[in-house]
Each structure stands twice: as C-alpha cells, then as structure tokens.
Structure 1
Amino acid sequence: MTTTVPGIPVPTGTPGDRSTDAREKDIMRFRTVSGPDLTTRNDAYLAWQRDREQADLWPYFRRYDTALTPRATSVSDTGVVTHGPNFGGQDYLSLTGHPAVLDAAHQALRDYGPITAGSPALGGANPISKALEAGLAEALHSDHVALFPTGWASGFGTIRALMHRRDHILLDKLSHDSLRQGAAASGATVEFFRHLDNDAVRRHLAGIRATDTKNAVLVVTEGVFSMDSDTPQLAELLGICREYGAQLMVDVAHDFGAMGEHGGGQLEVHGILGQVDFVVGAFSKTFATTGGFLATPSASAREYVRMFGGPQTFSSAITPVQTAAALAALGIVTSPEGARRRKSVAAVATRLREGLTARGLEVMGDVVCPVVPVLIGDTPTGRIASGLIARAGLIAHLVEQPAVASDAARFRMQAMADHSTEDVDAAIDILDSCIRTARQDMTHIIGRS
C-alpha cells in the first residue's frame, strides 16, 4: 500500500509486514549471524535489502553517470535517476575538473602509465610521489611523510603498525572506522572517551599513568568530525597529551586543504600546525583523487610504519595518475586561488546552514566547514525522505546505522566551492519539502498502528 504525495509514491504498510520492516528495522540486527554455510546464512539480510530497494528506501551504492560537478546525475541500484544539485559528492574545493589537475593527470599517465610497479616498499614510488611527499611536508610543517593507497589505509596502517599489545589507545567515541579498526587490530588496550571531552581524556590518561609509565599511549581524534560538523579544542588536547607523556594523532581528512587561511585545516586554525605527533589524512575530500598520507616529525616512526604498516608492504602504491592529481591540487590549495576557493565553499556552507535553519530544520555542528549535517532523528523518517529527495532531483546521502545511532539519522550535505546560490536554494527547498512529507507520512503511519 502507498500514499501518494507530490506525485511520488511513499511506502506505508502495517506493523509486522515486509514494507514496515524495510522502513523500520535496524541494519545492525544482521551484523552478527551464525550458521555453517557462508553462502546462504546472509539470505535474510539480502531479502530485507531487496524489500528496502522495492520500497524505495535503499540509499546506498548509487553511481554517478556524470563527472563530479555541482549539478550531476546519479542512478540507484533500482534504476532511479536523479539529476540536479549535487550535495553528495566529496569535492570541497571543486578541483576534480580543474584544468591544472586534469593536465597533470594526463601527463602522468603518458609518462608513467596507469599503475605502479608494486607496493611502496617494493618499487611503488616515482618522482611525482616524492614531490608530493615533500609538498605535504611543507604544507603541514612536518619533516616526514609517507603516502598510502587510500585515506582509510593511512589511519588503519599507522595505528596498526605503531601500537602493540602492552600499549594504550584512547579514541574519541565518534572516531572514523579506519581508526577504530586500526586500534582493534593493534592488540593494544583500547578505550573510548566522550566526544570532544578533553577533561575525559585527562581522566583516562591519569588513570593509565597511575599504573603504567613504561608503555605508549596514543590519543586519537579528528580535525573535523564530518558526521557532526564539530572540532575538538586541539591545542588544549595536545597540551594534555604532553602533560602525561602521550602522543596525539589527528585525522585531517575533512579539513586539510579545505579550511584555514593557508589550507592547513584545523591544525592551522588552532595554532598547532607542525606540532602534532601523527597527522593522517585523505586526498578524496579536497585533493581531487584517492589516496592518503601520514605526516610526522619522527623519522623512525615514519620508517617503522613504512616497513610494518600493512598497506605499505602488502598493497600496491598510489598510482602515478592519483599522485599527480594530488600534487597539482596541493599546488592550488596552497595558492591564492586556493584561499579564494576556501572562502567560496565556506560561503556555500553558510548559506546552506542558514537556509535550512530558517526552515526549522536542525543543522548540526558549531563550525562552518564543507559538511553540513541535517539531523532527522528516527531512521524510518530518514529512509522515506531519502527516497523522496532522489526522485525530486537532489543528490544527498542519508546516514543511518551503523555510521550513527539509530535515533540520529541525518543527511550529510557536502558543499563545493563551485555551487551556485541557485544550487543551494534548490537543495534547501527540496530537502525541506521532502523531510516535511516524510514526517507527515510517519505521523499517519503511527496513527494507524
């Protein structure tokens, strides 16, 4: 059964039927399964996913049929075509189509081909990768840089290599999956502290150092938490780490290049650029390609990670084309043009935040950054709204469990420097209208149940 609103079918259903399960049931109930046959024991999950797809409630694995531009076309697994403002792509400074980036990528393809010789440990470097390492070291005021094939690999590989069984890792409870998995794989004792709570970090460190002064402690946080659009008090956190003989790691995937007067991200904003022990990041948000890096003042730590970090020895290196694109993007990021593009993306994000807030929507976070999270709350409403906006002509991604709590679903709007005011205003209108419709529909469903 469906209810039709603005020409778009909205799934309803009665408690206990399959459409209700598709709308309301939590994906995490499938996370732990049992049974002897790995080829069939996930059939219940597949059936639930298919029900969601048929009910227009499946927001994942869409593809882009156009370049990553402010207006684009995406297609869902079920064939729903969305053409319109693109607030789902990660291209904060709008560099993926920049002539300098494209020219550099083409030249690298002609000079070095499409693939590396092997892992970074076994011939995966080339002159471009060495130039990129040097450029990153200068931009981050750091002495030693290592490149990784992905941003995820940089966080995971660095933690996994450096930390050992008797060591301790403290992570912000909202830390990225790559950081959490690296910590879990290291064998160290892992604890989580309350999000952005430096006092909690101090208490954890005091407790650890009261009984263990011989082993390492690594505190892990992020420059910008993209799901919440907030940032820690990094200078204070660094001071606490120094007080207790702990080292600090900051993941700058979402802020390096896109924030700060010179593109140094939140480390620059907080005045600690070049002082943090380990900085990891990704090229995929601002630098027009995939790949990642570690920057550190420690030569021995860098060499140890290069030898014992799994992605450094057992995964092919970042390709020449990717490396050239990142290097060209870095040149723009650190130039006056980069400063202008940072102002542009901040203006887009500000207009988006203010416009959505004026419509009565809850925009999360207290820092103006390219990510603008719009809190929906309950997952069923978010799922309905996601299907509606795809048909209404807005590309934006719903975030639900396991990335966030079941009662904290949200749309993660991602601004680009080249978004026009018309793009922003159209996105505000569509998102507002579809969320209102989804909430009305859920009210009707609850009233019938």
Structure 2
Amino acid sequence: MTTTVPAPAPAPAPTPTAGPLGGDRRTDALEKDIMRFRTVSGPDLTTRNDAYLAWQLDRQQADLWPYFRHYETPALTTRATVVSDTGVVTDGPNFGGQDYLSLTSHPAVRDAAHQALRDYGPLTAGSPALGGATPISRALEAGLAEALRTEHVALFPTGWASGFGTIRALMHRRDHILLDKLSHDSLRQGAAASGATVEFFRHLDNDAVRRHLSGIRANDTKNAVLVVTEGVFSMDSDTPHLAELLGVCREFGAQLMVDVAHDFGAMGEHGGGQPEVHGILGEVDFVVGAFSKTFATTGGFLATPSASAREFVRMFGGPQTFSSAITPVQTAVALAALGVVTSPEGARRRAAVAAVATRLRAGLTARGLEVMGDVVCPVVPVLIGDTPTGRTASGLIARAGLVAHLVEQPAVASDAARFRMQAMADHTDDDVDTAIDILDTCIREARRTTAR
C-alpha cells in the first residue's frame, strides 16, 4: 500500500518590509545577477521561486528595479509619464519607446487603423493557415516584397515569432546553424528548437564564419547550413559587413538570414535597412523583421526569393498554424507606415532621427560617457559597465525625469550594463539636451555612490 502524506501548506509570498534595507540584503539587491535565480530546484513550482521574489521586492524597495513600469500617457510620444510598481513617477523626455520615425501619431497611420477596424473588425478569423488573412494582408505582403526587392513574404503575429518560426520550420536535426554570439533571443530559441547543430561565432567576425563553414563543409556537404545575423545589433549599435558575409556564405553553399528589426524602414536611402546600405537588397536568402520599431504596430515578416521556402514556413512554422494571425488593424497600420517609409517624407524622417541620434551621441561623448557602436542608428547605447552603478543610476534617472531603460543581465553580460537610448524623429534638440544633462548627472552620482 502506498501512503501519500499531504504536503505542508505553502508559505505566504514575501512582502517588502518597511524601512531601508541593510546588510546582505542591500548588497544583494545592488549586486546580485538575476541569472543566479534562473536555475532552481524543488518539487513545488508555486513556492520554489520565493527567494527570487524576495530579492525582486528588495530591489524595488531600494529603488533599484527598473522593470514593468507602465505609461500613464501615450507611450510613443517624445515626452511621457511613466509610473513604477512602487509609485515612482517619471515625467519628461521619452527615450524608452520604439517609434523611430514617429509614425504612431501620423494621420495616415491612424486613419488606416480606424478604417480597418470599421471594415474588418478587431480580430482575424484564425491562424494564417486557417483563414487569418484579409485583403490588407495581401497588400502588405506585396508592399514588403517590393520594398525588400524580393518575391515572397509571409506575415507573423510578432517579430519574435518571425525569427523563431522561420528557423524552427526550415532547419532539421542534420542541418547546421551558425549564429552571431549576440543574436536575438528569438533566433537563438528557434535554432535550439529546430534540433540542428548550433554553433556561435564571434560577434561580427566574418573570418570566424569562414572557419566554421570550412570545418562544417569538410565533413558534411549534404545538409543545409544557415548563417544568422542582424542588420543592426541594438544592444551595441553595430552592424556586420553584410556583402562580405553573403559572399562567404555563397562560397560554402550556405544560406544567410538577416534580422532587420531595427534597421528596415529606419535606415537606407529608401528605407531598405542595412541590406540596402551594404548593396545587397534583394540578395539575402531570408530576411526577417518586426513592425514594432518603425512601422507603428506589432507583427513581423519573412521575406525570401524562394517560393518553396515561404510555403514550407507557412505550413510548418508554428506561429503560422498555432497562433492567431496578425490583426486587420495591425496590417493596415503597417501598410500605411510602409507607404510613408518609402515616400519622400520617409526619407526626411530618416534624416531627422539620424540627426537626433547624432546629437545625442556627440553630446554624451563630450561629457565623457562611453557611447557604443560604430553606426548612427536610432539606438544609442551608453555603456555603464558594472551592474551596481547601472542599477543605482537607473533609480536616479527615473526620479530626475528621464524615461530611459537600463539593460543588464540576461540581455547583456554582468559587466556590461548600459542604458539603451531610443531616438525618435520628432525628438527636439531640447529633449536631447535634457536627456544628456540627466544621464550625465545621474551616472556621475551613481559612480560616486557605488565607489564609497
């Protein structure tokens, strides 16, 4: 006979205690890496993360927790009001939103959203495979194909799904995937889920790609190799030499995938992103991207010259079958935004956001702050380095009236914390100069505080 002993009732979740933190709890809130909590053990999934929650609450109490704030005002305006879970109100220049060409308030974009809502309603009939498309979907696919100089486009409900779903569908266990070691999480997880052999190459190092490909092809000429990179790596504001990388792929019979989430629409003479800048627009095997940075909505896409690859992804890419399709409002907004992006007005907006980013980079550099990257793009990363200084500065910046996001583990290494400033075309010189003043003052104060 088996006897089951009832488990003890779970302890109540920890709650923050009154008064300032002291001793080890203050030190852990300031210094401990979040990834220390990532792997836990224990039989009860409802309680085994209590230590993590207690640490998070300590960080909130100590004004060291910058996450899950909410906007009290429209999120994608150049000035905004943001409120933290502990009630800290930040009101001032907004460099935390992703609206690179400031299209979320564009009259044509808003009119398109209203018209689609009236014509087709707020939701699709199902997944892309099961009736989830509308005439707007087809028009958007055609417009993207023209803008990217390719023939076949598939839409996804999110940008994350486009990278994940494409890799997961195309690659199999005998295949090989080479990813830049700083590739986005969606690309990494798609590679892991595919079952293919996955290797990482040094960031932006085309010679390393060549060595990897040479080693693979010395032993396997029968299976596919996919090299994965990004047009702009947003955490570092840098870009690979794409034309050279494409040549290396061709030399070894490998295919190239480029994620253009941060550059398509916002960079290039006609908005073609880094593939256009590097002269290979229309030549990349697989281009994936997101609408959420430049096109005023959520959603994503795959663009490819291969009809069979597109159809295979549409059938076997999980989000194409097992997730609801991008909505009529989303597709209409993206299509209207694409119309602006590819027009003379789009060129003016790209010049405007480049000017904002250039002023921001120059002003921060003049103050002695380290601005990362070698390409002028809407993302301006400001390197802090150690995590304690970054966390301290983040709390000070929020109270000083600047909306800006700290990036720490797991997004970057523990000794590479940074603020990721995101420029918009409609930011004014005063917005930029105020942001520079606040960043400079608060980072200096944070360094003095953590050095004590």
AA aligned to 2:266 is A
Question: Residue 92 of structure 2 aligns with which residue?
Answer: 84
Q: How does 1:27-426 map to 2 (within 5 A)?
A: 27-67=34-74, 68-426=76-434
> Alpha-carbon deviation of 1:118?
0.2
CA distance in structure 1 between the partners assigned to 2:24 and 2:191 by the alignment: 40
What SS does the corresponding residue of 1:419 show, helix, strand or coil?
A: coil
Q: TM-score, normalised by structure 2?
A: 0.95
Q: 2:436 aligns with which of 408, 422, 428?
A: 428
- Deviation digits for residues 357-387 of structure 1, max 9, x if unmatched? 0000000000000000000000000000000
AA aligned to 1:398 is L
> Alpha-carbon deviation of 1:283?
0.1
Of 115-124 and 62-71, more deviation after overlay is shown by: 62-71
CA distance in structure 1 between the partners assigned to 2:309 and 2:81 by the alignment: 44
AA aligned to 1:21 is D
Question: Residue 3 of structure 2 aligns with which residue?
Answer: none
Unpaired segments ≥5 residues, structure 1: 1-10, 445-449
Question: Residue 447 of structure 1 aligns with which residue?
Answer: none
AA aligned to 1:57 is L
Moved >2 Å (runs of 4+): 11-14
Conserved in 1, the CA contact under 8 Å of 2:21 and 2:58? no
CA distance in structure 2 between the partners assigned to 1:142 and 1:388 by the alignment: 47
CA distance in structure 1 between the partners assigned to 2:291 and 2:69 by the alignment: 21
The alignment's C-alpha RMSD in Å is 0.9
Percent identity, aligned pairs only, is: 89
> Alpha-carbon deviation of 1:17?
1.8
- Deviation digits for residues 86-132 of structure 1, max 9, x if unmatched? 00000000000100000000000000000000000000000001000
CA distance in structure 1 between the partners assigned to 2:211 and 2:78 by the alignment: 45
> Alpha-carbon deviation of 1:66?
1.2
> How many residue pairs get matched?
433
Residues 50/13 of structure 1: CA separation in 2 closer, same or farther (3 Å cut): closer
CA distance in structure 2 between the partners assigned to 1:346 and 1:386 by the alignment: 25
CA distance in structure 2 between the partners assigned to 1:98 and 1:353 by the alignment: 27
Conserved in 1, the CA contact under 8 Å of 2:98 and 2:422? yes
Conserved in 2, the CA contact under 8 Å of 1:12 and 1:20? no
CA distance in structure 2 between the partners assigned to 1:26 and 1:336 by the alignment: 47
AA aligned to 1:391 is R
Unpaired segments ≥5 residues, structure 2: 1-18
AA aligned to 1:285 is K
> Alpha-carbon deviation of 1:78?
1.2
- Deviation digits for residues 169-221 of structure 1, max 9, x if unmatched? 00000000000000000000000000000000000000000000000000000
Conserved in 2, the CA contact under 8 Å of 1:169 and 1:191? yes
CA distance in structure 1 between the partners assigned to 2:20 and 2:87 by the alignment: 21
CA distance in structure 2 between the partners assigned to 1:62 and 1:416 by the alignment: 20
What SS does the corresponding residue of 1:23 show, helix, strand or coil?
A: helix
Question: Residue 3 of structure 1 aligns with which residue?
Answer: none
Conserved in 1, the CA contact under 8 Å of 2:20 and 2:62? no
CA distance in structure 1 between the partners assigned to 2:91 and 2:348 by the alignment: 28
CA distance in structure 2 between the partners assigned to 1:277 and 1:182 by the alignment: 17
What SS does the corresponding residue of 1:410 show, helix, strand or coil?
A: strand
> Alpha-carbon deviation of 1:12?
9.0
